[in-house]
Amino acid sequence: MSFSTVLSASIQGLKVEFVNVEADVSNGLPGFHMVGYLSSEVKEAAERVRTAIKNSGMDYPAKKTVINLSPATVRKRGAAFDLPIAVSILASLGQIRERSVRNTLIIGELGLDGGIQEVPGILPIVLAARDAGIPLCIVPKANAAEGALVEGIQVIGAGSLAEVLGFLSGSIALEPEPYPEDKVNSCIKEMPDYSDICGQETIKRAVEVAVAGGHNLLFVGPPGSGKTMAAKRIPGILPPMTMEESMEITKIYSIMGRIDAKAPLIQQRPFRNVHHTATRAALIGGGLIPTPGEISLAHRGVLFLDELPEFQRAVLEVLREPLEEHKIRISRTHGNYVFPANFMLVAALNPCPCGCYPDMERCTCTSGQIQNYLGKISQAFLDRLEICVEAPKVTYESLSREKKGENSSQIRERVCRARDIQNDRYKGTKIATNAMLQVKELDKYCRLGKEESRLIEQAFTALGLTARTYHKILKVSRTIADLDQAESICVKHIKEAIGYRTIDKKYWGR
């Protein structure tokens, strides 16, 4: 038989599309033709496949070869079709029996020597294959551990085309990759710990409150005050991830080709430090067929934006939708793509361009310069950062002190307790943390006593609060009360929450 078909798959956004790789080798003018809405890297497969077949010790006859990747309406990209194309050609040539490739998903990139190189997106593809009832996947050896995370499907890691040929024709026995238990367990790396930071108790407290309620956080402080250090340690005090969450994140990282074969399952919450030159597409995702951006890579973890005013204004504004909806929708003419983006935003800025304000002895900025500096961020964006705290310059005394602060696991314990209280309270609703409370739900969950109402009313006029800051203060006080394991919000919780309110540009630097 001169025709055969092999099952493979490609990634569109976060979705998996199955692709049938069809090959037909017949008499005619010798040549290699590929069709099926292919990008140039797929077309280049022709040379790789022919050379790899030859170098694996097989003859490549001088015949007319036609390859079709169907469905022809889906754009195919990447080098992952090399292996299925090769296998399908070999099947048409009769080197492999057609029956043995039926119900097998094959994916991988070929080198000229016939070796199989790793490709991105293995985990979601294997998951989709299992859900479609396919019993066997052949993937590159380097990706085998990642694929083996999926239970209920056999995943075979192959190192070369010859190996695949041997396996499919029955001459070589390849064992399915076992579930990488030891790798899963060993991949919990040492995380940076809060006990490394001397002093800075105010920051630690603010971070604890922010993490406990899932609030976004803003550090205001001069350069070198340990803003980045504090932010980096946040994933270590967030509650541990569930298996479900881990798989969700590993899928995204797999698509981006960022899986470490030694530790295939991502079990730590991501921390993404984005440089201020980042473009909109880099942040939210983009491309002709969109790939996830930084906010999706920070899904279930922390997105850190240092030097906030240095970011282009338009770049920050696109963050507003994902901050509200915890996902990002990217529209293209050929379809919409939705990427998850449920992250905790941590931002940092200097109080003024030179960083010394309000120390007038050293600050060299005029009030115009300060206004200009802050003017790059919209108030609407600042208002989304519910907790704002000053990061003071580290003093020598606090550095030299022997006494070490609390470590991350102690803080995490309190955070988890507060999160448990929230989980109980919001059972049966879509709310996970206090930060997700909508305005209409505040009445129900953040009910205030007489004294508390009076206090907040007083604060409203005395401090010039807006409706938006008022709601944020309520949510943060709910979190502080939860940390305190208090049933209802008390005066002291509200007062502390007021102290964390976001900066108001109008009164800054005047």
Partner 1 sequence: MKYEYWFAQIARVNDRKKYFLREYLGTAKDIFYIEEMKLNKMEFLNEQDVNTIMQAKKTLDPDMLYKDLKKKSIRFIPWFSEEFPEKLCEIPTPPYALYVKGSIPERTKKTVAIVGARRCTHYGEKYALEYGEKLAQCDVSVISGLARGIDGAGHRGALMGKGSTYAVLGCGVDICYPREHIGLYTDILRQQGGILSEFPPGTPPVGCNFPRRNRIISGLSDVVLVMEAGEKSGSLITADMALEQGRDIYALPGPVNSSLSRGCNQLIRQGAGILLSPERLLDELGILPISSGENTDKNKKVLETGENMVYSRLCPYPKNLSQLAEETDLPPGEVLEKLVSLELQGYVKEISKNYYVTL
The answer to whether 455 contacts partner 1 (rule: CB under 8 A) is yes
The H or E element containing residue 478 is helix 467-483
Q: Decide if 362 contacts 380 (C-beta within 8 A).
A: no
> By CB under 8 A, what part of segment 468-487 binds partner 1?
480
Asked whether position 498 contacts partner 1 by CB under 8 A, the answer is yes
Q: Interface with partner 1 includes 374 (CB under 8 A)?
A: no
Say whether the peptide bond before residue 71 is cis (omega within 30 degrees of 0). yes
Taking CB under 8 A as the rule, does residue 243 contact partner 1?
A: no
Could you tell me the end-to-end alpha-carbon distance of the chain, in angstroms, rounded to an integer? 84
Query: Which residues are paired to 8 by β-bridges?
Result: 19
**CA dist., res. 148 & res. 472, Å (int):** 44
With contacts defined by CB under 8 A, how many residues of the chain interact with partner 1? 40
Residue 220 engages partner 1 in binding (rule: CB under 8 A): yes
Q: How far is the CB of 443 from partner 1 (least distance, A)?
A: 23
492 touches partner 1 by CB under 8 A: yes
- Asked if 488 interacts with partner 1 (CB under 8 A), we say no
Chain CA centroid to CA 467, Å: 32
Which residue stretch of 49-57, 117-125, 135-143, 384-392 sits at the interface with partner 1 (rule: CB under 8 A)? 384-392
What is the Cα 176 distance to its own chain's centre? 29
By CB under 8 A, residue 359 contacts partner 1: yes
Q: Which of residues 396-425 bind partner 1 (CB under 8 A)?
A: 398
Task: State the nearest-atom distance from the C-beta of 362 to partner 1, in Å.
Answer: 9
Residue 196 CB coordination number (10 Å): 14
Using the rule CB under 8 A, which residue among 13, 84, 120, 351 binds partner 1? Answer: 351
Q: Among residues 161, 3, 168, which one has the least CA distance to residue 86?
A: 161
Beta bridge partners of 185: none
Strand positions, DSSP E, 341-499: 344-349, 387-390
Closest residue by Cα to residue 340 from 228, 252, 472 = 252
> What is the C-alpha separation between 343 and 215, in angstroms, rounded?
10
Angle (CA) 52-54-58 rounded to 5° is 120
Does 503 engage in binding with partner 1 (CB under 8 A)?
Answer: yes
| 3 state SS for 390-419 | ECCCCCHHHHHCCCCCCCHHHHHHHHHHHH
Rule CB under 8 A: say whether 205 interacts with partner 1: yes
For the bound state, the minimum distance from the C-beta of residue 399 to partner 1, rounded and expressed in Å, comes to 13
Q: Answer yes or no whether residue 357 interacts with partner 1 by CB under 8 A.
A: yes
- Please, what is the minimum distance in Å from the beta carbon of residue 361 to partner 1? 6
Per CB under 8 A, 350 contacts partner 1: no
Least Å from the CB of residue 367 to partner 1: 6
CB of 467 to partner 1, least distance (A): 19
Stretch that binds partner 1, among 195-203, 302-310, 315-323, 464-472 (CB under 8 A): 195-203
Residue ranges in contact with partner 1 by CB under 8 A:
199-206, 209, 220, 351, 357-361, 363, 366-368, 388-390, 392, 398, 455, 458-459, 462-463, 480, 492, 495-496, 498-500, 503, 508-509
